[in-house]
Amino acid sequence: MSDPTPATSGSKPDKARFVIALALAVLAAVIGCEAWRLAAIPSYTAVGPAAFPTLIAIGLGLLAIANAVEAMKGVEEERPRDEVRPIVWVLAGLVGQIVLLPFAGFSIATGWLFAATAKGFGRGPVWAHFLAGAALCFVIYVIFAKGLQLSLPAGPLERLI
Amino acid sequence: MDTFGALAQGLMVALQPMNLVFAFFGVMLGTAVGVLPGIGPALTVALLLPITFKLDPAGSLIMFAGIYYGGMYGGSTASILLNTPGESSSIVTALEGNKMARAGRGGPALATAAIGSFVAGTIATIGLALIAPTVVDIAISFGPEDYFALMILAFTTVSAAFGSSVTRGLTSLFIGLSLGLVGIDLQSGQARVSFGVPDLLDGVEVTTLAVALFAIGETLSVAAAGSRAEEVIEPVRGSVFMNKEDWKRSWWPWIRGTFLGFPIGAMPAGGAEIPTFLSYALEKRLCKKPDEFGNGAIEGVAGPEAANNAAAAGVLVPLLTLGLPTSATAAIMLAGFQQYGMNPGPLLFATNPDLVWGLIASLFIANVMLLILNLPLVGMWVRLLAIPRPWLYGGILVFATLGTLGANPSLVELGMLLIFGLLGYVLRRYDYPIAPVVVGLILGPLAEQQLRRALAISVGDPVVLFQSPIALTLYALAALALFGPLLFYLITGRKAPVGGDED
């Protein structure tokens, strides 16, 4: 943080930031198209709904170029390698929760999320964490649904009460 | 309006037993989350928003303010004992504070941070109470073009203040602005960027975005770091009390830190990081024993901690008087006001004086509570750090999804949580700041509204935007903010602060 990075810059372009620049360009195009579509609709105000999106699309386009230019300068700082497995576990937890929620209810779905996240951080076994997580989430459900009148998705477990 | 009368009235509100309970709950929770890595005050307030929907507005906002202040105290504990700043405004505290802890002087380091935070917080809250009515008086004369200029200023300062380069800050900001476009345009009734998905017509929820970026993004990046993120907790050895020399060396840094932190926080200049770095540089220059810097100089803890807390109070000036959030937590608190159908700004002082002044008065109470609670309970806070990470982050995700489901029980909402979580991870991984995304989402639609209002009055003539002297001044400040990091480098001789998980 304190010393400027030595002469690694200029050596090889930063691929990841190129991808980010590309994503920004795509986003700029999407919003630009949207602005173009909105501009075609007659508007009765001095400034219609298309003006602000146009500005943002232009800004995004310029930033895509700026990011690409910075990417050309090369990697500023060597980024430590990220591990993929833990990320996959956490994502599996989140996706699994979305899939389970409609029919299994809040406790089971969120119990799975807890177990998968714990596994992602290297703590197993999954089934034990699932049971503990589901029990914990059931208690949370009771507190929130009964105490604070929040409607959380109910499943077979929740219908017992 | 008589400020002291209003403040006394506010004190009566804040001293109601129920509000004291809210304040107590807020500071305890805030300190706990400040200490814990990965969850900061912004996330906590975001998680609590849906839960507090049915509670009393004054009480909830007092609790949020307590969380905000508590988070600042807790953050310093984490940086001193763990060398991992809980939030980016305590990065500097970690520099000297952790060195002191390693040298067995963790107690005095914690004490000077806590007492300095108290001194700074109290002076800065007085400053807030004195300045707010004046700003409100000025703000009442603002036209839509001035508000638009003000938001441009907020955009530039937020993007320039956070992150490692202005390009990155602006990139984050524009992602937020793009998300702000989603939904039905209120003036023409046209659906924008929603691609026919009914759930998107209401726009992107601020809480969903904030929870996803802070909770899920953070969890993913900590998980990805795997075993490389091992941490060593320094035990607190020896006395927690400061000796006579510590007091003598802390006193002036506290005051100087306060007077650096409050004005910078109060200007729409974004966050509490810059004053902490300035204070550190200043104390290093003024210190009689400069060789101690880098090896645990108490001035290097006292000054930046005071600056940090003073800036935290300063940030409330633009938030309450102009409705302008300049930090992520302030942005979420703005969403909190909106949840109760209130818009912070000059009008709020007229329509809800009890609430505004009750909130300001409660800050004094929160400060006293934090001073009393913090040092005796430091052992308890340290034990929080020992929660195994798998359970901690598992719990964070459970509460993150719970908060989102509580606000809107829809699978699309959870899907957005997942997608924005991935976005948060990518932003963190490649060093893009998070706060501008949230600020862009909240302020983007407001800026558009003011812009269109201004242009409607002038019948489409854009010259109106650059006519008012107020607007021109604000644009000049915005330009200064964009080139500020360069000036910062020239003045202090070090690179402008690198944002981490800014709150």
The answer to whether position A21 is within a domain reads: yes
A42 to chain B, any CB pair closer than 8 A? The answer is no
For residue B239, give the 3-state DSSP assignment: coil
Of the ranges A157-161, B218-222, B244-248, B434-438, which one carries the lowest mean pLDDT score? A157-161
What residue has token string 């300035």? Answer: B278
Q: A94 is in which domain, residue-wise?
A: 84-160
**Other C-beta atoms lying within 10 Å of the C-beta of residue B404:** 25
Q: Looking at the complex, does the CB of residue A32 fall below 8 Å from at least one CB of chain B?
A: no
For the residues B485-501, what does the mean pLDDT come to? 56
- Conformational region of residue B87, where left means phi above 0, alpha means psi within -120 to 50, and beta covers everything else: beta
Contact B398 A136 (CB under 8 A): yes
Assigned domain for A121 exists: yes
Number of domains observed in the structure of chain A: 2
> Which residues of A fall within a CB distance of 8 Å from B222?
121
Cα–Cα dist A117/A132, whole Å: 13
Map tokens 């409100």 to a residue: B136
Question: Does one domain contain both A66 and A91?
Answer: no
Work out the mean pLDDT of chain A and round it to a whole number: 82
**Interchain pair A90, B397: CB under 8 A:** yes
| Shared-domain flag, residues A68 and A92 | no
What is the CA B157 to chain-centroid distance, rounded? 14
Give a yes or no: residue A9 inside a domain. Answer: no
Q: Assess whether pLDDT exceeds 60 at residue A8.
A: no
Please name the member of B171, B192, B395 whose beta carbon is closest to the beta carbon of A38: B192
Residue at B428: amino acid letter: R
- Domain contains A144: yes
pTM: 0.83
Kindly determine whether residue A94 and residue B411, on different chains, have CB atoms separated by under 8 Å: no
DSSP SS3 for B192: strand
> Would an 8 Å CB–CB cutoff place A7 in contact with chain B?
no
Residue A28 is predicted with a pLDDT of 93
The pLDDT of residue A7: 40
Q: Dihedrals φ, ψ of B184, to 5°? A: -80, 130
Nearest CA distance, A67 vs chain B (angstrom): 7
Is A24 close to B425, i.e. CB distance below 8 A?
no
Q: Is B475 helix (H, G, I), strand (E, B) or coil?
A: helix
Judge: B421–A94 Cβ closer than 8 Å, yes or no. Answer: yes
Q: Which helix (H) or strand (E) segment is B465 a member of?
A: none
Last residue of a domain, one of A72, A105, A121: A72
pLDDT digits (tens, 9 = 90+) for B287-329: 777 777 777 788 888 888 888 888 888 888 888 888 888 777 8
Instruction: Provide the pLDDT for residue A44.
Output: 67
- Chain B CB within 8 Å of residue A72 CB: no
Closest residue in A to B190 (Cα) is: A49
Q: What is the mean pLDDT of residues A110-133?
A: 88
Residues A142 and A88 grouped into a single domain: yes
Q: Looking at residue B187, what DSSP letter applies? A: T
* pLDDT bracket for residue B426 (50, 70, 90): very high
Interface test with A, best of B83, B178, B420 (most A CBs within 10 A): B178
Predicted pLDDT of residue A74: 75
Chains A–B, number of C-beta pairs less than 8 Å apart: 191
Q: How confident is the model at residue B86 (pLDDT cuts 50, 70, 90)?
A: low
- Amino acid identity of B427? L
Helix axes B166-181, B435-457, angle to 10 degrees: 60
Are A28 and A63 part of one and the same domain?
A: yes
The answer to the question of residue A3 being in a domain is no
**Whether B328 contacts B42, CB under 8 Å:** yes
- How far apart are the C-alpha atoms of B212 and B114, rounded to whole Å? 31
CB contact under 8 A, A123 and B177: no
Residue A20 token pair? 């980010």
Indicate whether A68 and A88 sit together in one domain.
Answer: no
Tell whether A25 and A92 lie within a shared domain: no
- Between CA A137 and CA B216 the distance in angstroms is 18
Q: What was the pLDDT predicted at A152?
A: 79
Interface test with A, best of B397, B410, B422 (most A CBs within 10 A): B397
Is A95 within the bounds of a domain?
yes
- Per the CB < 8 A criterion, the answer to whether B311 and B261 are in contact is yes
pLDDT exceeds 60 at position B418: yes
* C-alpha to C-alpha distance for B379 and B363, rounded to whole angstroms: 25
Both A48 and A94 in one domain: the answer is no
Q: Which two tokens stand for residue B57?
A: 């507005």
Residue A39 lies in a domain: yes
For residue B181, the chain A residues in CB contact (below 8 A) are 31, 34, 52-53, 56
Domain match, A54 and A103 both = no
Q: Are residues A63 and A126 in the same domain?
A: no
Claim to verify: residue A67 and residue A89 sit in the same structural domain: no
pLDDT reported for residue B229: 56
**A35 inside domain:** yes
Which comes out higher in pLDDT, residue B492 or B460?
B460
- Do B130 and B3 contact (CB within 8 A), yes or no? yes
Smallest Cβ distance to A46: which of B164, B455, B495? B455
- Same-domain status, A124 and A64: no
* Percent of chain B with pLDDT strictly greater than 70: 89
Distance from CA of A100 to the nearest CA of B (A): 11
Put simply, whether A63 touches B (Cβ < 8 Å) is: yes
- By the CB < 8 Å criterion, does A129 face chain B? yes
Q: Do B415 and A113 touch (CB under 8 A)?
A: no
Nearest to A91 by CA among B204, B415, B145, B249: B415
What is the structure's pLDDT at A5?
41
Using the Cβ of A145 and the Cβ atoms of chain B, whether some distance falls under 8 Å is answered with no
| Other residues' Cβ atoms within 10 Å of the Cβ of residue B423 | 21
Average pLDDT value over all residues in chain B: 81
Confidence band for B490, pLDDT divided at 50, 70 and 90: low
| Contact present, B54 and A149 (Cβ < 8 Å) | yes
Distance CA B503, CA B214 (A): 9
Domain match, A91 and A146 both: yes
Reduced to 3 states (helix: H, G, I; strand: E, B; else coil), residue B40 is coil
With a CB cutoff of 8 Å and minimum separation 6, the contacts of B307 are B120, B257, B258, B260, B261, B272, B275, B276, B278, B279
**Shortest Cα distance from B171 to chain A (angstroms)?**
6
Q: Is B10 exposed, middle or buried (0-12, 13-18, 19+ CB in 10 A)?
A: buried
Strand residue runs (E) in B118-209: 183-184, 191-192
Does A60 contact B174 at a Cβ distance shorter than 8 Å? Answer: yes
